[in-house]
C-alpha cells in the first residue's frame, strides 16, 4: 500500500456546518436565535425578576414595530390581489368557504374545551370562596366586556373614516376598506394600472420593512419572555398547574389530531407545516400575540403556492373569525371557574356558555388579553358563575395566552391552505415539495 498520493484534507474539503432549509448555518437562523433568547429570558426572569420586569419595553417595542406595518401589509396584499383578478365571483366564493370553515372548526374547538373541562375537572377541589376573592382587577375587564349584539358587530366593521381604520389598526376595518378599493380598481380596468403598480411597489417595500423588523425578533422575544417570568414567576404556576397543563395538552392534541386530520385530507402533513412555520411559532410563544407573526405568515403561505388575493382574504379574516386557541380556552376556563367555586352547571347552562362563546370569541385574536375580556363577557351572561372567580386565573393569563395565540396562528395557516386546495390553487406534489 503506497501513500504517495495521499494528501492531508484541507479545510475546504471538510463538511460545512449544519444548515437550515435556506442554506444558512443553524446558529444564524432566526428560529435558533429566538429560541436561545427565550431560554436566556426564562433564566434571567427566574434569577433576577426585578431586572427582568424592566425588560418589558423591549417586547412592547417589537410588537409595536410589527403592528405598525400590519395594516399596510393587509391593504396592499388584498387590493393588489383583487385588482389583478379576472374572476370577481372568486372573492365571494373564497370568503364564503373561509367563513364556513372558520365556523365549523372554531365551534369544534369550543366543544373540545367543554368536553375536556367536564372530563378532567381542573377546578375540582379548589374550594374557592368568591366572597374572599379580590375582583377589583377583574372589574376593569368587565367594563370592557359589554354585551355586543350582531348589529353592533357588523357596524364595527365599517370605520368612521378610511384614515380611522388605519389609525386604530383594526384588522377587520382595514380588510373592509381594502376589499372596496380592490373591487373598485378591478372595475376600472387599465385606468388604474399606474395606481396598482404603485401599490405593488409599496407592498414590496413594506415586506422589506418586515424583514428588517424581524431581525430584532430575538431581542423582542427576550424582553417579552423575561418580563413574563419575572413578573409572574414560574412558582406562581404551581396552584393552577393542572389547568395550565390540561390546556397546553389539549391545544397540542387539537393541532396534531384535529388540524392534522384536516391537513391530511387537504394533502399536506401538519408536522411539516409546523417545522416550516418554526420562526413564527417561537415569536408568537415569546410575545403571546399572534399578530407578530401575521406579515411573515402571509408571505410564507404565498411561497407555498397560495394566491396573493386568497391569502389576503383568508388570513386577516381568520384573525377575527378563526380563533381556535381562544375557543378551547374560553369553555375550559369557564368550567374551571365554576368548578373552583363549587358551582354545579347543568347541561343547559353549559350549552348556553357554548352558544354565547360562539359570539364572544370572535374578535378575540391578535390583541393580548382580548380573550380574557371575551371570557368575562361570556360569564356575565350566566348569572350562576361569579365573575369574581376570574381573579383565580388572572395571574396566569399571560402563560395561557402563549398557547391561545399559537393555536390561533397555526389554525389560520391551516385554514388558508385548506381553502386554497378547495379552490384548486395548490398542487399536492408541489405543496409537499415546498414544505420539505
Torsion-angle region of 103 (φ positive above 0: left; ψ -120 to 50: alpha; else: beta): alpha
For residue 10, pLDDT beyond 50: no
SS3 of residue 19 by DSSP: strand
How high is the pLDDT of residue 134?
Answer: 60
pLDDT at 254 over 90: yes
* HEC readout, 155-183: HHHCCCCHHHHHHHCCHHHHHHHHHHHHH
- 3-7, 116-120, 328-332, 378-382, range with the lowest pLDDT: 3-7
Q: Are 398 and 232 in contact (CB under 8 A)?
A: yes
Cβ(432)–Cβ(267) below 8 Å? yes
In whole angstroms, what is the distance from residue 309 CA to residue 315 CA?
A: 10
| pLDDT given for residue 97 in this prediction | 92
Return the pLDDT at 363. 57
Residue 176 and residue 157 in contact, taking contact as beta carbons nearer than 8 Å: yes
Q: Which has the higher per-residue pLDDT, 114 or 157?
A: 114
Cα radius of gyration (the chain): 23
Strand partners, 19: 25
Q: What is the pLDDT of residue 361?
A: 77
Which H or E element spans position 2?
none
* Angle between helix 241-253 and 324-340 (nearest 10): 150
CA distance 182 to 78: 7
CA-to-CA distance for 427 and 434, rounded, in angstroms? 11
C-alpha cell at 194: 399606474
Half-sphere exposure of 273 (CA within 13 A, CB side): 26
Distance CA 371, CA 145 (A): 10
Average pLDDT over residues 290-296: 87
Higher-scoring residue by pLDDT: 6, 47: 47
Q: Looking at residue 191, what is its pLDDT?
A: 85
Cell reading at 200: 405593488
Q: What is the pTM of this model?
A: 0.81
Cα gap 272→277, rounded to integer Å: 9
The rounded distance, in Å, linking the Cα atoms of 288 and 272 is 23
Question: Residue 262 in contact with residue 402, Cβ under 8 Å?
Answer: no
pLDDT band at residue 1 under the 50/70/90 scheme: very low
Q: Is the pLDDT of residue 287 over 60?
A: yes
Domain residue ranges of the chain, discontinuous segments joined by +: 24-435
Quick one: which of 51, 407, 55 has its CA closest to 248? 407
**What pLDDT band is residue 118 in, cutting at 50, 70 and 90?**
very high
The residue that leads in pLDDT, 434 or 146, is 434
User: What is the pLDDT at residue 26?
Assistant: 64
Band the pLDDT of 90: cuts 50, 70, 90: confident
pLDDT, the chain, mean: 82
User: What sign has the CA pseudo-torsion 315, 321, 322, 326?
Assistant: positive
Question: Is residue 132 pLDDT above 50, yes or no?
Answer: yes
Q: What is the mean pLDDT of residues 212-226?
A: 90
Q: What percent of the residues of the chain are helix, what percent strand, and what percent coil, each to the nearest 5?
A: 75, 0, 20
Residue 15 in this model has a pLDDT that exceeds 70: no
Q: What is residue 368's predicted lDDT score, i.e. its pLDDT?
A: 53
**What phi and psi values does residue 295 have, to the nearest 5 degrees?**
-65, -45
> Does the pLDDT of residue 277 top 70, yes or no?
yes
> Does 375 have pLDDT greater than 90?
no
Q: Which CATH class is domain 24-435?
A: mainly alpha
Amino acid at each position: 500500500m503506497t501513500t504517495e498520493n495521499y494528501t492531508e484534507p484541507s479545510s475546504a474539503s471538510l463538511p460545512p456546518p449544519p444548515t437550515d432549509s435556506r442554506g444558512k448555518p443553524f446558529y444564524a437562523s432566526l428560529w435558533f436565535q429566538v429560541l436561545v433568547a427565550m431560554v436566556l429570558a426564562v433564566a434571567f426572569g427566574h434569577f433576577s425578576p426585578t431586572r427582568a420586569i424592566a425588560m418589558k419595553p423591549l417586547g412592547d417595542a417589537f410588537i409595536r414595530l410589527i403592528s405598525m406595518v400590519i395594516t399596510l401589509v393587509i391593504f396592499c396584499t388584498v387590493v393588489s390581489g383583487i385588482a389583478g383578478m379576472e374572476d370577481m365571483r372568486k372573492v365571494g366564493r373564497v370568503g364564503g368557504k373561509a367563513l364556513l370553515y372558520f365556523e365549523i372548526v372554531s365551534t369544534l374547538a369550543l366543544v373540545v374545551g367543554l368536553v375536556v373541562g367536564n372530563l378532567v375537572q381542573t377546578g375540582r377541589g379548589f374550594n374557592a370562596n368568591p366572597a374572599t376573592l379580590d375582583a377589583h382587577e377583574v372589574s376593569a375587564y368587565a367594563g370592557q366586556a359589554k354585551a355586543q349584539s350582531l348589529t353592533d358587530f357588523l357596524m364595527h366593521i365599517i370605520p368612521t373614516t378610511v384614515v380611522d381604520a388605519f389609525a386604530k389598526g383594526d384588522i377587520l376595518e382595514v380588510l373592509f376598506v381594502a376589499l372596496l378599493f380592490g373591487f373598485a380598481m378591478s372595475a376600472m380596468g387599465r385606468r388604474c394600472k399606474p395606481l396598482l403598480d404603485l401599490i405593488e411597489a409599496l407592498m414590496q417595500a413594506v415586506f422589506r420593512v418586515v424583514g428588517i423588523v424581524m431581525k430584532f425578533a430575538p431581542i423582542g422575544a427576550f424582553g417579552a419572555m423575561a418580563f413574563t417570568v419575572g413578573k409572574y414567576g414560574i412558582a406562581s404556576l404551581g396552584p393552577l398547574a393542572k389547568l395550565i397543563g390540561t390546556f397546553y395538552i389539549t391545544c397540542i392534541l387539537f393541532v396534531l389530531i384535529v388540524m392534522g386530520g384536516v391537513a391530511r385530507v387537504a394533502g399536506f402533513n401538519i408536522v411539516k407545516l409546523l417545522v416550516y412555520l418554526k420562526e413564527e411559532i417561537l415569536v408568537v410563544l415569546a410575545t403571546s400575540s399572534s399578530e407578530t407573526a401575521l406579515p411573515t405568515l402571509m408571505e410564507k403561505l404565498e411561497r407555498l403556492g397560495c394566491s396573493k388575493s386568497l391569502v389576503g382574504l383568508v388570513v386577516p379574516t381568520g384573525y377575527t373569525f378563526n380563533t381556535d386557541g381562544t375557543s378551547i380556552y374560553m369553555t375550559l376556563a369557564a368550567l374551571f371557574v365554576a368548578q373552583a367555586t363549587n358551582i354545579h352547571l347543568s347541561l343547559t347552562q353549559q350549552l348556553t356558555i357554548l352558544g354565547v362563546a360562539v359570539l364572544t370569541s370572535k374578535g378575540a385574536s391578535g390583541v393580548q388579553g382580548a380573550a380574557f375580556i371575551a371570557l368575562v363577557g361570556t360569564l356575565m351572561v350566566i348569572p350562576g358563575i361569579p365573575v369574581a372567580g376570574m381573579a383565580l386565573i388572572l395571574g396566569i393569563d399571560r402563560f395561557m395566552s402563549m398557547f391561545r395565540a399559537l393555536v390561533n396562528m397555526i389554525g389560520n395557516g391551516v385554514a388558508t391552505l385548506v381553502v386554497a386546495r378547495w379552490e384548486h390553487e395548490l398542487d399536492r406534489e408541489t405543496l409537499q415539495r415546498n414544505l420539505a
